[in-house]
A and B are shown apart, each in its own frame.
Chain A
Amino acid sequence: MSTSEIDRQWTTRLRKRTFGKLPPEKMLPDTQPSYVSSWIYVFGVATISSIVVVIGTGCVLAIFGPQWWHTSPEGRFVNSLHLWSVEIFFFSMVIHLWGKYFMAAWRGGRALTWITGMVLFLCSIVTALTGYVSQSNFDSQWISTQAKDAINGSGGGAFFNLLNGGQMLMWHIVLMPLILVLLVGVHVVLVRIKGVVPPFEENAGADQ
Chain B
Amino acid sequence: MGSFLFGALINLNHPDHYFQWHFLGISAANAIVIVLMVATFVAALLLPFPGRRRRKENQ
Contacts and interface: CB of A to CB of B under 8 A. Distances in A.
Contacts of B6: 73, 76-77, 80
A55 interface: no
B34 to A, nearest CB: 9
Could you tell me the dominant secondary structure of chain B's interface residues?
helix
Interface residues of A, number: 17
Given A76-B6, A95-B37, A40 B55 contact: no
Contacts of A91: 33, 36-37, 40
Contact of A39 (B2, B36, B43, B56): B43
Contacts of B2: 73
A173 B6 CA distance: 26
A38 B33 contact: no
Contacts of A94: 37
Contacts of B55: 34, 37
Interface of B: 2-3, 5-6, 33, 36-37, 40-41, 43-45, 47, 49, 51-52, 55-56
